[in-house]
């Protein structure tokens, strides 16, 4: 029989797992065939998910049956175990001649997770079976285990659905914030360029053309940055390892040495929280490479009993005072960083340093970090 660990973890290949279970269950009960049925999303029918020992014509006719069909319907509504000895209804649904001939008895067992019944499994017998109370108890237990496996699979599907929806919305937000406004500006300048060309005002045309060219270049750079961010997956070894990887490659990409000072304590962040922090730090380091003209940068990561600190310092040309605010800057990248910080319940500040350069500081109270933070 497959390991209990694979069942409770919600094995990715659930149908293969159920097929393996059926073989073991059939041997235990002395059955000649078996099937696992799950309720459809509307709860009106049962779909055949896995089977062993059934003729293919029976598989075809049993692929989808009414939820209220006989003892199987009763088992799909309550956590229980029941026998089907009158197979006339089963035989009436098809013309395979299996029920009442090769199959004389059917056992229907609920697949339940708590009070939620997700389906049933059937055992098919060619003769009157002799099943002890101990085996019946084991079959009930297996039904609950398989019910939990189905519940885990359903939860995983829902998690993936929500993740995909969040990623799509995040991509829409990124494209809107980083590109749409820049392209709108370029579009607004086009009539001015047209007027200048019509009036043969070469100096004005060149100035407006330069504005449009810069806007298109900025949009292109922003698009590449968004694509890079969305190709990046969180390192399976966690945020600290991901930031170490950035630091190792940073000098080769930018020519700027990056020092990392980090806590020795585990951060204990969820994957969604780590992704938000990773993107904030990544954007700050990208800004250093693109705008600061720095020769050194430093990333500090600290954890105290009450908060997390992520701080990026550089020795570059510094920020204009109008940019050193909490995210309302016209600088689109800073606005995106501030939005991410707000999702974390944290505070993000940008500050010019007295000795020259810029400090980006993300402080997040531990009490604000909850598992519900989404991407």
For residue 235, what pLDDT band results from cuts at 50, 70 and 90?
low
- Is residue 373 over pLDDT 60? no
Q: Under a CB-based contact definition with an 8 Å cutoff, are residues 58 and 98 in contact?
A: yes
Q: What is the structure's pLDDT at 327? A: 39
pLDDT-wise least confident of 148-152, 158-162, 207-211, 215-219:
158-162
CA distances from 326 to 251, 329, 346 (A): 28, 8, 11
> Of the ranges 169-183, 295-309, 351-365, which one carries the lowest mean pLDDT score?
169-183
pLDDT of residue 18: 78
Mean pLDDT of all residues in 287-315: 91
Give 234's pLDDT tier (boundaries 50, 70, 90). low
Distance CA 72, CA 109 (A): 8
Give domain 4-157's CATH superfamily.
GAF domain (3.30.450.40)
Please give the residue that has the higher pLDDT: either 54 or 71: 54
Residue range(s) in the chain whose domain bears CATH number 3.30.450.40: 4-157
In the chain, ranges of CATH 3.30.565.10 domains: 234-375
Read off the pLDDT of each residue in 273-294 and give the average, rounded to a whole number. 87
Q: Taking residues 330-335, report their average pLDDT.
A: 64
Looking at domain 234-375, which CATH architecture does it have?
2-Layer Sandwich (3.30)
Read off the pLDDT of residues 244-255 as tens digits, 9 standing for 90 and up. 888 888 888 788
User: Is residue 332 very low, low, confident or very high in pLDDT (cuts 50, 70, 90)?
Assistant: low
pLDDT of residue 286: 83
């Amino acid at each position: 029989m497959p390991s209990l660990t694979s069942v409770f973890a919600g094995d990715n290949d659930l149908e293969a797992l159920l097929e393996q279970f059926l073989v073991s269950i059939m041997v235990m009960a002395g059955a000649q065939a078996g099937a696992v049925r799950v309720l459809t999303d509307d709860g009106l029918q049962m779909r055949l998910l896995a089977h062993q020992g059934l003729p293919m014509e029976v598989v075809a006719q049993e692929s989808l049956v009414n939820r209220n069909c006989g003892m199987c319907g009763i088992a799909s509504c309550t956590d229980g175990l029941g026998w089907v000895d009158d197979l006339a209804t089963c035989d009436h649904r098809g013309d395979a001649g299996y029920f009442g001939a090769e199959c004389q008895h059917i056992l229907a067992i609920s697949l339940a997770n708590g009070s939620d019944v997700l389906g049933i499994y059937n055992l098919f017998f060619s003769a009157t079976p002799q099943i002890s109370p101990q085996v019946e108890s084991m079959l009930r237990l297996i039904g609950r285990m398989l019910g939990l496996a189905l519940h885990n699979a359903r939860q995983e599907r829902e998690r993936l659905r929500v993740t995909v929806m969040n990623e799509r919305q995040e991509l829409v937000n990124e494209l809107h914030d980083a590109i749409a406004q820049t392209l709108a500006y370029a579009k607004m300048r086009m009539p001015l360029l047209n007027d200048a060309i019509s009036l043969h005002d070469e100096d004005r045309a060149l100035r407006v053309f330069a504005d449009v060219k810069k806007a298109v270049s900025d949009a292109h750079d922003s698009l590449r940055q968004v694509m890079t961010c969305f190709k990046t997956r969180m390192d399976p070894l966690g945020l600290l390892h991901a930031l170490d990887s950035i630091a190792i490659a940073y000098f080769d990409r930018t020519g700027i040495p990056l020092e990392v000072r980090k806590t020795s304590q585990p951060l204990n962040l969820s994957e969604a929280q780590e992704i938000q922090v990773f993107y904030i730090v990544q954007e700050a380091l990208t800004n250093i490479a693109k705008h600061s003209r720095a020769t050194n940068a430093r990333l500090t990561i600290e954890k105290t009993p009450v908060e997390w600190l992520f701080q990026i310092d550089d020795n570059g040309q510094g920020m204009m005072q109008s940019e050193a605010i909490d995210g309302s800057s016209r600088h689109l990248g800073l606005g995106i960083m501030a939005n991410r910080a707000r999702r974390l319940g944290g505070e993000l500040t940008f500050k010019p340093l007295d000795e020259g350069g810029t400090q980006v500081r993300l402080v997040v109270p531990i009490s604000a970090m909850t598992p519900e933070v989404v991407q």
